[in-house]
Each structure stands twice: as C-alpha cells, then as structure tokens.
Copies of this chain bind each other. A is one copy, B any other.
Amino acid sequence: MTHLRAVVLGAAAGGGLPQWNCGCQNCNAARDGSIPAASQSSVAFSANGSDWAILNASPDIRYQIAAAPPLHPTGPRDSPIRSVVLTNGDIDHVVGLLTLREKQAFTLFTTAAIAEVLDDNPIFRALDPAFVRREIVALGKPFEIAAGLTAEMFVVPGKVPLYMEGETVDTELEGEQTVGVHLTAGGRAAYYLPGCAKVTDALAERMRGAPLVFFDGTVWENEEMIRLGVGAKTGARMGHMSMAGAGGSMAAFAPLDVARKIFVHMNNTNPVLDPSSPERAEVEAAGWEVAFDGMEVTA
C-alpha cells in the first residue's frame, strides 16, 4: 500500500544548530548537549520506502545520509536517492549537491531561475551530466520525483539568494526564486514550504484543509536576531515570516483547518528549539509540531 513517508534530515535553517561562530543561548546549549543539535534544512520523501527524493540538499547532507539507514547505499556504489528537488538557491539548500558528486545517477529538479543560479557557478559542474540529469520544471505541472511520488511546485513569496542580492531587494518577490512543493503519493498528500515571506490569500486558500504542511519556522519574532545581538537583519529582510504575532504563521494558519502542521527551517536563535521554552509550549498549544533531525512522519 502506498504511503507518503517523510524523514526530516535537518530541522534547522542555514548555519545549523550549533552554528560555527555563534555563542547564543541555543548554540551553547546544543554544544553542551542540553538541547538537541539540529542540522540544516532538508526533508526526504518516499512513497515506497526504497526510492527517495531529497527536498533541498543541505551542506550537512553527508552526515544526514549517514544518520538515515533508508538512504544508505545498497551496493558497492549505489544509492536509494532518486532525485533532489530545490525550493530555492540558498546556500543551505544547494551546497549539499557538491557532496552528491560521486558519479551517481539521480535527477535534479529545479525551476529555471534556480537552475540559472547553479549554472552561474562552474563548481556545480562537479555533478557530471553523464550521471546527474537536470530537469527544469514549470510551476503548476506535476512531475514524478521517485517511484509513485509526485511533486508540483507553486509560487511562494520570497527573495533571491543572499549572494545574488543587488542594491535593492524585493523580499516578497513572487516568481520562480522561492517555491513551495505539493507532494502526492496515491491518495496521500503533503506540502513543503521551508521558506515563505508571507501567507497571501492565494497561499491560504491552497493550504486550507491540507492533511500535512511543513512550514517555514525560521524566526519566532521578526526582531529576534537583533534583540539577541547576533545579527542586524529582521526575519522579513531575510524573506521569512515570524511564527508569533498578528502577521505571523500561527495566526495565518489558525483558520485554515490543516490537520498536521510542522515547523521546519528554524534559525538557531529561535526559542522553540529549546523543548522547555514557553515559546515551544505556545506553538504546541496552537496545534503545531516543531521538527527535529530524524523525525519520521507518515501520511
């Protein structure tokens, strides 16, 4: 029987928990083991448990695969990973491609805009086209990403990757730079949106009544990094809406009747990463779960 199976490979945003140069409360707690560490943003999906698609290839992918037995090779050089799907061109979502370079066949699905980012960087030629098939997908058209598993991309407000930013930046751009993914396997379905600047009316209508949504949990509140003294940017400036507050994701999803809502892509400053925090209690009271590395979800 077909299920939709997800394994959260990495629950944290870019930088991970702990981040190399961060001495914030969460990073120190992760270093001393008092809260769980979390690697960078990636979720694996499968319809049959033996063919897998990786949504976003994080810099931590070698460790993430090593920690996930279903993704281990089954022969001398082999992998059950059939494809990688990118939802934007951010470093925390594309650098792992450089680990998947060892003459192993898989398909890389991206929008044209994200493919352009890769093509601008000859280092990605390390993915030998004799092995890695590149497929440019259009928004709104379903495509198969692993046996029995279909994906469809749709527009989500976001921005271009940091390293491609110009003088001015549209942080709620609606194009092919940042997308969400609708996954279906048989009659099962899930949404994956690790980056989202705003729940527009159209996006709210799409989410309404969904059985399972993985959603952008980067920051608890917009000014969090500034308040903690570890950065000068708001969540909005980074293209991410906050969890809390009138304009936050908890408020936006409250009326949408989504059966299971899971936050992913938490920045290391987000207090919900501490299981004993009042903010964690608050998101759970609002019907949300907070993803963790190795979390398994079956729809």
Which residues of A approach B to under 8 Å, CB–CB? 15-16, 18-24, 27, 31, 37, 59-63, 65-66, 72-79, 81, 91, 94-95, 98-104, 117, 120-126, 162-164, 228-231
Q: How far does the alpha carbon of A15 sit from the alpha carbon of B126 in the complex, in Å?
A: 13
B20 engages A59 (CB within 8 Å) = no
Given contacts A59-B99, A63-B63, A66-B18, contact A76 B23 (CB under 8 A): yes
Check A73–B123 contact: CB distance below 8 A. no
Query: Residues of B contacting A75 with CB < 8 Å?
Result: 23
Pair B20/A62 contact, Cβ less than 8 Å: yes
Question: Known contacts A122-B121, A163-B122; is A102 also within 8 Å of B19 by CB?
Answer: yes
**Extra pairs beyond A31-B72, A126-B163 (5, CB < 8 Å):** A63-B63, A120-B121, A120-B122, A120-B123, A125-B163
Q: Complex formed: what's the CA distance from A76 to B27 in Å?
A: 9
Report whether A102 and B62 are in contact in the complex, using a CB–CB cutoff of 8 Å: no
Q: Would you call the interface of chain A mostly helix, strand, loop, or mixed?
A: loop
Contact B230 A59 (CB under 8 A): no
Can you list 28 A-B contacts (CB < 8 A)? A18-B66, A19-B62, A20-B61, A20-B65, A20-B73, A20-B79, A21-B77, A21-B100, A22-B73, A23-B74, A23-B76, A27-B73, A31-B66, A31-B72, A37-B66, A59-B59, A59-B62, A59-B98, A60-B62, A76-B229, A77-B231, A91-B98, A95-B98, A103-B231, A120-B121, A120-B123, A126-B162, A126-B163
Q: How far is the CA of A23 from the CA of B102 in the complex (A)?
A: 13
Give chain B residues whose Cβ lies under 8 Å from the Cβ of A23: 72-78
> Whole-angstrom distance between the alpha carbons of A127 and B95 in the complex?
14
Q: How far does the alpha carbon of A22 sit from the alpha carbon of B72 in the complex, in Å?
A: 8
Q: Once the chains bind, are B101 and A24 in contact (CB under 8 Å)?
A: no
A123-B163 in contact given A62-B60, A66-B18 (Cβ < 8 Å): yes
- Measured between beta carbons, the chain B residues less than 8 angstroms from A231 are 77, 103
Q: How far is the CA of A103 from the CA of B19 in the complex (A)?
A: 12
Q: Does the CB pair B123–A24 fall under 8 Å?
A: no
A18 and chain B: residue at smallest CB distance: B66
Give Cα A228 to B76, complex, Å. 8
**Which of A18, A22, A229, A230: most chain B CB closer than 10 A?**
A22
Q: How far is the CA of A77 from the CA of B31 in the complex (A)?
A: 15
